[in-house]
Structure 1
């Protein structure tokens, strides 16, 4: 096997194990996926799964939570079965791990099970599990690390988007790349989804005209910014964002569509129980969509207020498409209902 390719975004601390790019992960007995960028972490874990299933379709996949851990689970799911199928065990929440998991994981990296790949997800949001990370980075368990650092700045977002097209063997013009990253300046997951949509729906090189046809310059990002602000209950800020969006030329129809998409996702996720990955599989969504919807729901939403908001968005949708002479008022009323979680005028 070729030597693992090292990532340029390696951990700053000295480490004895290979540092891999999240775009080019490789299986190992222990794989530490570290850092806060969830989109990159999900991509890396998904690519590992696909690689291993391509080698052996009988791959057994198990998900565990380190923060809700039943003693003995790690050894049970990594132990060889009667027929010796390879095992992939994905462990989330290592930054919040229980004492039982920490103790068993430390013992496991001293003597990993043959034929098993254990992926440990640590966001870096706490120092919990530090001893385990240090053991892995010291070389115990024959591990590798996949760093997923935060993508914060415009240049990092452009580099991320450029990498999406380069990895797919496609070219995107510099001005098109700039327009795309400006159109999705808030949520990296939305930028990733936009890149994938362009890759799937178009052929050949991607220029600025193509990006504008799909996303209308800054209109789409403005729509999601307005929706995000209203959904989190920031009434005044949401009305201001709406006015700024309209002044910059935003079309009322995609503004309403952004609200509808987010509220519809919240409604679907709100009735489900279980880990994000399990719910995502049931609803055929990406993990990040479930996570984002659950975070939105925690900002004061109830079943009743969500229903009122969905009705308001449906009314606004009809009005901005011709049922009203004043689409701006229709948008303001929709934003008011969503941001206040109450019927208009209540």
Structure 2
């Protein structure tokens, strides 16, 4: 790959720049840019590639902004059995002097069998000397740019790539409708793309997108689910009524509940720091932290009851019942009260 010049520097970048969808392990991997969903995907893909090559890969997480001297050498050094190591370093844009000094020294002599992933959001010039060293070729690294996704065109390109990567076709008007429905958080747009990929077959057209997300007012379905899961029955019913009055389809409303409850079920019953659980479950840190907050006041029994209620509602809004609105109200009631539905309510 041809070298490119970095702004404000006479030195050319000589390391390869990789697409975030097609990353590969290297002694040093610089994941640079503000778009967190791209960074998480790239880092997860590197972990999966290393794990496929050797299931015994050791994974360690280090914070550059809360760094203890000697940690980097400790987590990258070979173990007794010589397993490959993946070390994920977050907060490089706020790194301490101790980390900066040790990271620069590490670039001169990377450990064999270790993959060091440096996450820098670009939010500050902190760590500039380290970035210049990596980009200049020290350590044999690669860079994965994670540029911000802000414009409508950027979101459409991102969503189109999701379907293309999954070998699925989505029609242009359907793609436009989908990105307009999720014009805010890219993470929600990514989740919506994956739901359509997993729940549908064949080409995705406007009717399918409209069935799942038609009439969607920004995060309406999740607002209903959040209120119910928090135990606020009244607010959840009001949000549900507003969603239906604005034209929201019952199917994606149920899907929002199912998505959140599945995540809670995966996280529930497990102990440990959210970063460790995220690594074990193959989920983003923020998703685990949100599920842990959502689980407050829930038990295995009430969670199972809620999941059953959502499964019943899913079947009913897809044709098993003539009254989809009642099915939704019953689902919301069971989830919010965490008790079996009573007709007298």
Residue 61, structure 1, aligned to residue 58, structure 2: yes
Q: How far 1:148 sits from its partner (Å)? A: 0.9
Q: How far 1:125 sits from its partner (Å)? A: 3.2
- Equivalents in 2 of 1:97, 1:48: separation in Å? 23
From 286, 291, 300, the counterpart of 1:291: 286
Alpha-carbon deviations, 1:87-106, whole Å to 9, x = none? 32222232333333222111
- Equivalents in 1 of 2:109, 2:239: separation in Å? 55
TM-score normalised over the length of structure 1: 0.70
Q: How far 1:155 sits from its partner (Å)? A: 1.4
User: Retained in 2: the 8 A contact 1:5–1:20?
Assistant: no
- Equivalents in 1 of 2:113, 2:200: separation in Å? 40
- Equivalents in 2 of 1:243, 1:58: separation in Å? 49
User: Retained in 1: the 8 A contact 2:216–2:247?
Assistant: yes
Q: How far 1:113 sits from its partner (Å)? A: 1.7
Q: How far 1:136 sits from its partner (Å)? A: 1.5
- Equivalents in 2 of 1:13, 1:239: separation in Å? 55
From 238, 246, 249, the counterpart of 2:247: 249
Q: How far 1:264 sits from its partner (Å)? A: 8.1
Q: 1:204–1:238: structure 2 CA closer, same or farther, 3 Å change rule?
A: closer
Gaps of 5+ in 2: 338-345
Secondary structure in 2 aligned to 1:89? strand
Gaps of 5+ in 1: 339-346
TM-score normalised over the length of structure 2: 0.70
Aligned residues: 326
Q: How far 1:31 sits from its partner (Å)? A: 0.5
From 96, 116, 133, the counterpart of 2:131: 133
Alpha-carbon deviations, 1:253-295, whole Å to 9, x = none? 854764685588579869876544322245x4x533x415646
User: Retained in 2: the 8 A contact 1:186–1:225?
Assistant: no
Q: What is aligned with 2:105? A: 107
Give the RMSD, CA atoms, in angstroms: 4.7
Q: How far 1:188 sits from its partner (Å)? A: 1.7
Q: 1:166–1:303: structure 2 CA closer, same or farther, 3 Å change rule?
A: closer
- Equivalents in 2 of 1:27, 1:183: separation in Å? 35
Q: How far 1:69 sits from its partner (Å)? A: 3.2
Q: What is aligned with 1:343? A: none
- Equivalents in 2 of 1:13, 1:99: separation in Å? 23
Secondary structure in 2 aligned to 1:19? coil
Q: 1:84–1:4: structure 2 CA closer, same or farther, 3 Å change rule?
A: farther
Residue 93, structure 1, aligned to residue 91, structure 2: yes
Q: 1:93–1:276: structure 2 CA closer, same or farther, 3 Å change rule?
A: farther
Secondary structure in 2 aligned to 1:219? coil
Q: What is aligned with 2:34? A: 36
Alpha-carbon deviations, 1:75-127, whole Å to 9, x = none? 12322345544332222232333333222111101221223221111223344
- Equivalents in 2 of 1:118, 1:194: separation in Å? 31
